[in-house]
Amino acid sequence: MQFSLFRYDSILLLFLFLCFFPRACFPARITPEQITVTTTGDTHTHKATWFNFTRFKDADNGSHVISGMSELKRYFQRFGYLSVRNDNFTDVYDTQFESAVNLYQKKFGLPVTGKLDFDTISTIMSPRCGVSDSAPTKIHASKHFVYFNGRPRWNNDSASTTTPMTLTYAFSPSNMINYISLPEIRTAFKRSFSRWASVIPINFNETEEYEKADITIGFYGGDHGDGEAFDGALGVLAHAFAPENGRMHFDEDETWAVDFKKAKSKLAVDLESVATHEIGHILGLGHSSVQDAVMYPNLSPRARRRELKLDDVEGVQALYGSNPNFEISSFSESDNVSDKGTGLVCRSSNWTLSLVVLVFFILLVIV
């Protein structure tokens, strides 16, 4: 009798354990080891120095001189975290650099340790937008959107109190990629522009007159004459300029994709996600610290982040007002919690439930 009771208790405990401790959902992140993986099928290789930053993991103030640390300092300078006026950086992890690391960690929502820990190095090595993060922040309880210095915006003569502004865009006649068809590229950009148009009183119309367009789009490699050279596959993906400049440039060395089912490369980058982000810069938005926002600066390979979040909407509407047909109620704070594009992977627990049922009935038969 005691033996039988023990067996029933064991069954009950096992059943409760499996029910209440399902496999958890957790964010998938690019690790230094994962980032450096390439396959023989990839035609592009990463030429930036960022992949070498993994050797600085766990470095902090007081560490011995580490060869190459000066390159990491240049990275921090490029994106607005070090205000050193010259490029004569040393390989010493000094107090000034520790302050820069603290600022970077705060901006990206990482634990502020002043140390180049695993999460910090992983974020640094992740592909990102080339626009600096140094714009003055406008942070409230739940708002983390920022603007370019002076809060520039488009002022178009066609706009009035009753008529929305109209901006034209055009693709470069000579600086495009040839492995994605032009109709596919045009469709991706049309969707990206439409997302912003749905929340602000601006219409975006494509034009064939490249020289006269308000917004110009092209793919370029290396030093292409705007002072913001690209660095090869991954690293900096694209950049755009504040209003009313209108230039939007994409790194031609990336493996761009509009459909991951067709693009097999592990290094494929979603063109529509990056286009939506860069349009935000064209409109005057800087980088957001909300990880699921379109204006968050980093995007991992084979990830999508296309849909505007509440932070994006409030930021752009503060510049241009709201589209009369837009209802803010369609957005909620929960929109900032999850997004397929951020690499948030929710592991299905269906296998756990099936296992629970299977084990329960097997043990029931045995008993």
Rounded CA separation 310/322 (Å): 13
Question: Tell me: the pLDDT tens digits for 109-123?
Answer: 899 999 999 999 999
Please report the pLDDT score of residue 84 as a whole number: 66
pLDDT digits (tens, 9 = 90+) for 209-255: 999 999 999 999 999 999 999 988 989 999 999 999 999 999 999 99
Q: How confident is the model at residue 164 (pLDDT cuts 50, 70, 90)?
A: confident
- As given in the structure block, the two tokens for residue 328 are 């803010």
129 known member of a binding site? yes
- Is 214 annotated as contributing to ligand binding? yes
- Provide mean pLDDT across the span 184-203: 98
- In this prediction, residue 157 carries a pLDDT of 63
- The pLDDT score that the predictor gives to residue 7 is 53
Q: What is the CA radius of gyration of the chain?
A: 24
Evaluate if residue 4 carries a pLDDT over 90: no
Distance CA 314, CA 82 (A): 29
Backbone angles phi, psi at 334, to 5 degrees: -65, -20
- Please report the pLDDT score of residue 212 as a whole number: 97
Q: What is the pLDDT of residue 44?
A: 46
Taking a C-beta distance cutoff of 8 angstroms, is the pair 98, 60 a contact?
yes
Residue 215 forms beta bridges with which residues?
Answer: 169
Q: Which of 122, 79, 118 is nearest to 297 (CA)?
A: 79
What is the rounded CA–CA span in Å between residue 53 and residue 232? 16
Catalytically annotated residue among 278, 314, 327, 333? 278
**pLDDT classification of 83: cutoffs 50, 70, 90:** confident
Q: Is 287 annotated as a binding residue?
A: yes
User: Domains plus CATH for the chain?
Assistant: 32-125 (1.10.101.10), 165-345 (3.40.390.10)
Q: Is 277 labelled a binding residue? A: yes
Q: Determine whether the annotation assigns residue 311 to a binding site.
A: no
**Could you tell me the CA-to-CA distances from 257 to 178, 228, 303, 304 in Å, in that order?**
12, 23, 11, 11
| pLDDT tens per residue, range 333-357 | 545 433 333 333 333 334 444 444 4
In whole angstroms, give the CA distance from residue 93 to residue 70.
9
The backbone torsions φ and ψ at residue 219, rounded to the nearest 5 degrees and listed phi first, read -115, 130
Is 228 one of the annotated active-site residues of the chain? no
144 is in an annotated binding site: no
Find the mean pLDDT for residues 260-269.
94
